[in-house]
Structure 1
Amino acid sequence: MLKKEIKRNYPIDWKEYTFDTLFDFDGGLPVSRANLSNKGICYLHYGDIHKLKENYIDVERDADIIPKYDVPLENLSENYILNDGDIAFADASEDYEGIGKSVVVLNKGNIPFISGLHVIVARDKTDLLNREFKRFFLSNWNIRKQMKRIATGISVLGINRPNLRKIDAVLPPLKEQQKIASILSTWDKAIELKEKLIEQKKEQKKGLIQNLLTGEVRLPGFDGDWMKKKIGDCIIESREIATDPILEKRLTVRLNLKGIEQREVNPIEKVGATTQYVRKAGQFIYGKQNLHKGAFGLIPEKFDGYQTSSDIPSFNFKRGIDSKWFFYYMSREGFYRNLERISTGTGSKRINPKDLYILNIKVPGINEQREIANVLSTIDKELELLNKELNNIKHQKKGLMQLLLTGKVRVKA
C-alpha cells in the first residue's frame, strides 16, 4: 500500500490497486536475436521494447518489420501469445531510465505475436483499466519510483514478476481514464507530426548535400569547372603545443556528426602525461580512430583555446577554402565512411593527416563554396528550430501528463 501522505496527493474518488489485483503475469519464450529472421511468427524481443519510441506496438501496422521466429504456431503455449491490450515489460535494462520499459500491444486482428526473451507480460484480470490509458499510466512518477526501487542487479538492472505484483497504482474512474488518454494521444500526434517534418527536412538536406557538393546541381550564376585538389591543398594541421595544460579544458569529438564537446575529466589522469595542443574556434577537428564514423566537426567559439592530444588533430583552412563548405563536403556519409580504407596501424587503427592529405576532391570557386554553405546552413537552422519545437512539445506533454495522472488537473469525463 502507498504511504498515506502519497495517497492524499490523489483525488478521493481515485482508487488504489496493486498490480497483482489488476494483472496476471506471464513470461516470454527465450529465443536469441541470432535465431530471429524475417520469416515465421512475429516475435517481441526485449531489446525492441527498449528501441521503440512509442509506448505501444501496433502489430498489424508493423508486421512487416517486426522480427520473426520460424516455429509452428501449434507448438507454442498460449501463455507466450500476446493479445490486444497486453502490456509487455522488458525485464532487463542497462540503466535506471530503462527499468520497466513497456509497450501496450495493439492487436485487434489477433495476429500471432510471441512474447520473447526477457519479456514479462501483464494481462488484464479486471476491467478497471482503459486500453488506451494503459499507454500512459505507467509514466506516473510514483509508479516509476516504485519500478526503480524493485530493480536488482549491478551492471544490468532487472525486474521480476513477484516484485511487479507488489507495485501500487492509483487509478481514476474509467471515463476519466478515457478522457486523459484522449488528451495525451493528441499531444502524441503533435509530436509524431513534428518528427515527420524533421525527417523530411533531413531527407531534403541529404539530397542537397549529394547534389550541390558533387556538382550534379549548380546554383544559379555558377557554371565554371571545379578544380581537382588534394585535401592537403585545403587544410593544414595546427601543432601549437599547450604550454599550460588544463584537464578541465579538454575536448572530444562525438560520433555520427554529433559535434564537439568538453571531455569529462578522468580522476586518475595527470596533467602533463601526454602532450596537449591548443585548438582554435573555426578549425576543422577529427578523431583519428573514428573519422570514418563521423567523429569530426568545426570547433565552436565557446571552445576556443581548449586542448586535445595528437589523437584529435585540428586544422586551419588554406586560402580559397570556406570552412563550412569543407565540413559539409566531408559530412556526406558515403564519403566519410569510405575513409576507413586509409586507416593504418595494428589494434586500434587511425587515420593520420598525411594519409588524409593525399585524397583528391573537386573544389568549386570560393564564392560558390560560400553559396553552397549558406544553403545548407539555412537547412541546419531550420532543423535546429524544428528540434527545439519538438523538445518544447515533449516537455509540455510530460508536465501535463504528470498533472493528469496524479489528478492535480481534472478533466470532465
Structure 2
Amino acid sequence: MAVKPGYKQTEIGVVPMQWEVKSLTEIAEKIMVGIASAATHAYRVKGVPMFRNQNVKAGKLDDSDLLFIAPEYEITFKNKRLRSGDLLTMRTGYPGVTAIVPPQYDSAQSFTTLITRPNHREVDSSFLCHYINSEIGQRFFTQSQIGGAQKNVNAGTLRMMPVPIPSLSEQRAIATALSDVDELLGALERLIAKKRDLKLAAMQQLLTGQTRLSGFHSEWEVKRLGEICDIAMGRTPARLNKKFWGRGYKWLSIADFQGKVVSESKEEITELAASTMEVIPKGTLLMSFKLSIGRLCFAGCDLYTNEAICSFKNLQASGEFLYYALGRTDFSLYGKQAVKGYTLNKESLKIVEVDLPSLPEQTAIASVLSDMDAELAVLEQRLAKTRVLKQGMMQELLTGRTRLV
C-alpha cells in the first residue's frame, strides 16, 4: 500500500516524515529492575514506600496497598531509588502496563518492576507512558512475552521496544490531550463510584424500613417466597438430541445474566424442545439458585432457562422491589452444603424470608432504586464511550495520523 506524502513506513507502521523511531534504550538514561529479593523482615508500618506490580495501573500508581521497608535496609539499594517522572512497568500479571512515578514518591523503591528513566532532553515521560500503554505499545509486549503459564517481560526485551519520537513540543501537546481525556475518565469513574455508594446506602435504608418515603407509615410484614409466588425451575433438554438445539427460542444459563434485563442467550433451543417445556413470559423475575447463587434479572422476552435458574410466577408483590430485596439476601442461611459450595432447591427457596411493606410502598421504593440504576447506566455508557474515544485518539495522535496544531 502506497504511503501518502509526508509520511514514511517504519517498523511500528507509518509515521510522519519528521518523526524518528528509536529503541527505548536510546531514549532512556537507565532501564533496570527494582529490588529483586523479597525481604519480609524489612517490612514496616512506616518507612520507605515500595511499589509492586499490583500497584501499577495504566498511567498511574495505585498507592492503596503500598508496602514500606526499613530505611536501614533500603539504603543498600539506593541505586534502585525511583525519581519523579520514571516509568514503572509490570513484568508479570499484565506485562507491559506502565505508570509514571509522581513527585510525592521521588526516592521510593519498587519490587521486581521494570524501571525506565527517560532522557528528558529527548522524550516526555507522559508521552512515553501513553505510548507504552497504547494498543500499539502493548502489541510489542504481547509479541515479546516469555515464560510458560506466568508470562513476563524482562529488561532486555524492554530495551528493544521501538518508540516513535516527534519533537518534544509535539510530544507534550499529545500527552496533554490524552491526559485531559484521562482526567475526564477519572472524574466519571469517581462519580460512578459515588453514585454506587449512594445507591447502596439507599438500599440499606429503604429496603429495611429504616428510612420511610413520604406518605407511608403502615407496618411491614415478613413473608416467605412460597407465600407470595409460585417458584418454577428451568430444564436442560437432552444434549444428545440434536433436534433440540439450534436457532429458535432463547435458553438462558447463569452466564447469560448480564444486566438487569436479559434478552440474549449464548444457546437457543428449537421449537421441538420448547414444546416440552413451560415458557417463561417476558418481564418475569429470574434467579440463579445453584453455584452462583442469587444472581437476578428480568426476562427481556419470552424464553426458557436451564435447571440452575428459577422463575417467580404469580407474584403477589412488586417484582422490581423483590429484585432489590433478594439482591441483599444471605441465601447461605437456607442452602445445604455441597461439594462445590452450598446449594438451594425448590423447597428451600420457598422458606426464604423477605421484609415487605405495602404494595404501594414497594412500588415507590423500587421506583427510587430503578431511577438510581438508570442514572448509573447512563454514566457507565458515557464512560464506555469516552474510553473508546480515548483509544481512537491514541491511535491517531501516537502514530501522527492526526497532527495537533
Task: Give TM-score, length-normalised by structure 2.
Answer: 0.82
After superposition, residues 13-412 of structure 1 pair within 5 angstroms as: 13-23=18-28, 24-30=30-36, 38-49=45-56, 52=57, 54-57=58-61, 62=63, 65-70=65-70, 72-93=72-93, 98-108=94-104, 110=106, 112-117=107-112, 119-125=113-119, 127-239=121-233, 241=235, 245-246=244-245, 249-253=250-254, 279-281=280-282, 282-291=284-293, 295-302=294-301, 304-309=302-307, 311-319=308-316, 321-332=317-328, 336=329, 338-348=330-340, 349-412=342-405
Cα distance in 2 between the residues matched to 1:240 and 1:222: 37
> Taking structure 1 as reference, are residues 166 and 254 closer, same or farther at Cα in structure 2, changes over 3 Å only?
same
**Contact kept? 1:279, 1:308, Cα under 8 Å:** no
**Contact kept? 2:87, 2:115, Cα under 8 Å:** yes
Give the superposed CA RMSD: 3.3
Cα distance in 2 between the residues matched to 1:65 and 1:123: 24
Task: Specify the SS of the correspondent of 1:380.
Answer: helix
> Taking structure 1 as reference, are residues 299 and 76 closer, same or farther at Cα in structure 2, changes over 3 Å only?
farther
Cα distance in 2 between the residues matched to 1:385 and 1:353: 37
**Contact kept? 2:236, 2:306, Cα under 8 Å:** no
The alpha carbon displacement at 1:233 in A equals 1.7
Determine the structure 2 residue equivalent to 1:269: none
Task: Specify the SS of the correspondent of 1:85.
Answer: coil
- Structure 2 counterpart of 1:323, which letter? G
Q: 1:142-186 deviations in whole A, cap 9, x for unaligned?
A: 333222111124433221122222111111111111111111121
- Structure 2 counterpart of 1:212, which letter? L
Q: 1:122-157 deviations in whole A, cap 9, x for unaligned?
A: 123562111332331213443332221111244332
> Taking structure 1 as reference, are residues 83 and 194 closer, same or farther at Cα in structure 2, changes over 3 Å only?
same
Cα distance in 2 between the residues matched to 1:306 and 1:132: 52
Q: 1:77-103 deviations in whole A, cap 9, x for unaligned?
A: 12432221111111123xxxx331111
What percent of counterpart residues are identical? 22
- Structure 1: segments with no counterpart, 5+ residues: 266-271
Cα distance in 2 between the residues matched to 1:33 and 1:197: 39
Q: Which moved more, 1:233-242 or 1:382-391?
A: 233-242
Q: Which moved more, 1:386-395 or 1:354-363?
A: 354-363
- Structure 2 counterpart of 1:307, which letter? T
Cα distance in 2 between the residues matched to 1:139 and 1:263: 34
- Structure 2: segments with no counterpart, 5+ residues: 1-7, 238-242, 268-272
The alpha carbon displacement at 1:256 in A equals 11
Cα distance in 1 between the residues matched to 2:198 and 2:54: 31
Greater per-residue strand proportion: 2
- Structure 1 counterpart of 2:309, which letter? I
Aligned residues between the structures: 380
Cα distance in 2 between the residues matched to 1:256 and 1:306: 13
Cα distance in 1 between the residues matched to 2:104 and 2:222: 60
Cα distance in 2 between the residues matched to 1:183 and 1:360: 54
Cα distance in 1 between the residues matched to 2:148 and 2:133: 24
Determine the structure 2 residue equivalent to 1:268: none
The alpha carbon displacement at 1:262 in A equals 6.1
Task: Specify the SS of the correspondent of 1:313.
Answer: strand
Q: 1:237-256 deviations in whole A, cap 9, x for unaligned?
A: 21465667437854333699
The alpha carbon displacement at 1:405 in A equals 0.9
**Contact kept? 1:132, 1:181, Cα under 8 Å:** yes
Task: Specify the SS of the correspondent of 2:199.
Answer: helix
Determine the structure 1 residue equivalent to 2:4: none
**Contact kept? 2:86, 2:116, Cα under 8 Å:** yes
